[in-house]
Amino acid sequence: MAKKIVVDPIPRIEGHLRIEAQVGENNVIEDAFSTGTMWRGIELILKGRDPRDAWAFAERICGVCTTVHALASVRCVEDALGIVIPDNARIIRNLMNATQQTQDHLVHFYHLHALDWVDVVSALKADPKETSRIAQSISSWPKSSPGYFNDLQQRLTGFVESGQLGIFSNGYWGHSAYKLPPEVNLLAVAHYLEALEFQKEIVKIHTVFGGKNPHPNYLVGGMACAIDPSRDTAINMETLSMVKKIIDDTMTFIDQVYIPDLIAIAGFYKDWLYGGGLGNYLCYGDFPERSLEDTSSLLWPRGAILNRDLSTIYDVDPRDMNQVTEEVSHSWYSYSSGDDKGLHPWQGETTPNYTGPKPPFEHLDHEKKYSWLKTPRWNNHPMEVGPLARVLLQYAKGDPMIKDTVNMVLGTLDVGPEALYSTLGRTAARGIECRQTAGFMLHFYNELIDNIKKGDYKTANTELWEPSSWPSDVKGFGYTEAPRGALGHWVHIKNEKIEDYQIVVPSTWNASPRDAEGKVGAYESALRGTPMADPEKPLELLRTVHSFDPCLACASHVFDMNGNEITKVTIV
């Protein structure tokens, strides 16, 4: 008998997301519905504001992928006003962006995603000597002695025996879908803690250039951090040396901890190749070596792939009024021209119109509107955005570093490129990309040093700082590749104020509800066909949802078709 399961709240994501799934006789997910369950109205709040302030408002859209909306926003306003930023500002923003990608991916792997693959309680049964042997066989990371793992295991045992399990309370420990031996689980728990301590070091680069993290400061026209190697009141050699050390440590951590762990864990799940999903991939590109308009200078390229066909890369133009659109046939909004007609963000409207059940409720009606997310489309196609899209596009374009890393990971696992089209492939792509962005950090640091060496200290262009110098009616587009995928901001500035502001967020692409024609988005597509050992404990569902690194949040109940709650099971 088919069952309906509701997973709400889904933990270890940002925000509030709900998944309802239809589970067939053999416990395979037949259909899934993704619901964004929060709306904050920031686009409306931005109306009428000073465009120079927009980055700060927009940055508060997300504190996990902090910086990304600020970056897209300053680029968007600069595009509208025709402001050309100094080269150092381009480099510093790229360095901060690479820092964000690297830290965000690391936190995602260990703290948001790992517990879908790693059984913490199983680690109590590990032989620390064997864990040490495994650790030393896959990496030269120095924290790998039997004593080290023994101490950790004792600490973990004490923690579990205290009866206060904290964040591990009621996890799916002992679930049959967990495949790691106890020794590898212990290794992963050790690195969970090490990554938790290390992530806070990486972001200090944001603090140097932006004053704080989360939510460092940006500036329309460049960056506010002055550079002067002969003063202690600006960025000088001491601060730059700190940045350099953090970059070196980060590259080491990614190479010696994250990548070996990723390969070691994936090795035990090679057969679990579900969750591929759409097969359509979209990238705006990022990391300009010259200007944002010159897309040939982007280290991360722009382009689209359809139906997993890597032989054809389609051109993407987010300014084209017909390419990127959003419709609201299943979203809690109204459009003046009809909810099923897609609008380009420059024509976009944000009129909330909740038509769902009054809370508390058990189910949503998926025939009608069921999400606070709009439904974005590229040339009418649903698209996946994020690390997998970027890695595939670079792979298709023959980027040497990406090709080498992908081939190394696939070769070590002894699987073909088709393995990339899966939940695990998405997770692997994030790690592969993280190694690349750690390298970008060093690249941009070196670029900055070269400029300073030449005597170029300029970080901001303030020629058009005063609103009186602006054109009276302009539109702009700003983009970035956020850790979770292609992000676009579209602004309309009129008489020195924001007339309209529209944002299309990566998780909106991935987590959107179906469109007027019934075409599903990336989450809904990827969940179809996923087998579950026990629908009561939807570990496999979490795996696939988490592989996208969602930027929302949720909660879950399990029901049969008659709406009766299935008996709840306490695991711990």
Partner 1 sequence: MQSKPTYAEIFRQRGLSRRDFLKFCSLTTVALGLAPSFLPKVIHAMETQPRTPVIWLHGLECTCCTESFIRSSHPIMADIVFNMISLDYDDTLSAAAGHQLEEVRHRIMEEYKGRYILACEGNVPMKDDGVYCLIGGDSYKNLLTETAKDAAAVIAWGACATFGCVQNADPNPTGAVPISEIVTDKPLVNVPGCPPIAEVMTSVITHFHTFGTLPELDRMKRPKAFYGTRIHDKCYRRAFYDAGMFVTDFDDESARKGWCLYKMGCKGPTTYNSCSKTEWNDGVSFPIGSGHPCFGCASPGFWDNGPFYKRLADVSFLGTDTNADKIGAVAVGAAAAGAAAHAAVTAVKKRKTGNSDESVQNEG
Annotated binding site for Mg(2+): 43, 62, 503, 557
According to DSSP, the residues that pair with 281 across neighbouring strands are: 305, 384
Interaction of residue 245 with partner 1, rule CB under 8 A: no
Site for partner 1 in 23-52 (CB under 8 A): 37-42, 44-45, 49-50, 52
Site for partner 1 in 332-391 (CB under 8 A): 332, 352, 354, 356, 358-362, 372
Cα gap 279→300, rounded to integer Å: 19
Residue 161 catalytic? no
C-alpha distances out from residue 347 to 180, 343, 402, 492, Å: 51, 6, 37, 10
CB 274 within 8 A of CB 529: yes
Segment near partner 1 (CB under 8 A); pick from 72-80, 153-161, 433-441, 509-517: 153-161
- Active-site residue (options: 18, 62, 433, 556): 62
Residue 225 catalytic? no
The phi and psi torsions of 559 (rounded to 5 degrees) equal -125, 150
Residue 69 catalytic? yes
Segment near partner 1 (CB under 8 A); pick from 169-177, 247-255, 376-384, 425-433: 169-177
Residue 76 catalytic? no
- Active-site residue (options: 215, 435, 484, 528): 484
Which of 3, 15, 384, 395 contacts partner 1 by CB under 8 A?
15
Which of 125, 212, 341, 494 contacts partner 1 by CB under 8 A?
212
Interaction of residue 204 with partner 1, rule CB under 8 A: yes
Segment near partner 1 (CB under 8 A); pick from 195-203, 389-397, 426-434, 445-453: 195-203
Peptide bond into 483 cis (omega under 30): no
- The residue to which tokens 């599903």 are assigned: 520
Cα gap 183→198, rounded to integer Å: 22
Segment near partner 1 (CB under 8 A); pick from 76-84, 129-137, 156-164, 177-185: 156-164
In angstroms, what is the C-alpha Rg of the chain? Answer: 24
Closest CA to 328 of 528, 72, 36, 551: 36
- Active-site residue (options: 12, 16, 18, 69): 69
Nearer to partner 1, 480 or 556 (CB): 556
Which of 234, 306, 408, 474 contacts partner 1 by CB under 8 A?
234
Which of 21, 62, 428, 487 contacts partner 1 by CB under 8 A?
62
Cβ atoms within 10 Å of 315's Cβ, excluding its own: 10
CB 62 within 8 A of CB 100: no
Site for partner 1 in 64-123 (CB under 8 A): 64, 66, 86, 111-112, 115, 120
Nearer to partner 1, 153 or 329 (CB): 153
Residue 65 catalytic? yes
Task: For residue 240, give the amino acid letter.
Answer: L
Nearer to partner 1, 311 or 495 (CB): 495
**What letter does residue 290 receive in the DSSP assignment?**
S
Residue 525 catalytic? no
Those residues whose C-beta lies under 8 Å from the C-beta of residue 459, and which sit 6 or more positions away, are 86, 88, 89, 92, 222, 223, 224, 225, 226, 227
Structure tokens at 513: 């509800």
Which of 31, 87, 141, 224 contacts partner 1 by CB under 8 A?
224
C-alpha distances out from residue 322 to 129, 317, 380, Å: 60, 9, 9
Burial class (CB in 10 A: 0-12, 13-18, 19+), 140: exposed
Site for partner 1 in 433-492 (CB under 8 A): 457-462, 465
- Active-site residue (options: 144, 507, 512, 525): 507
State the catalytic residues.
14, 62, 65, 69, 484, 507, 551, 554
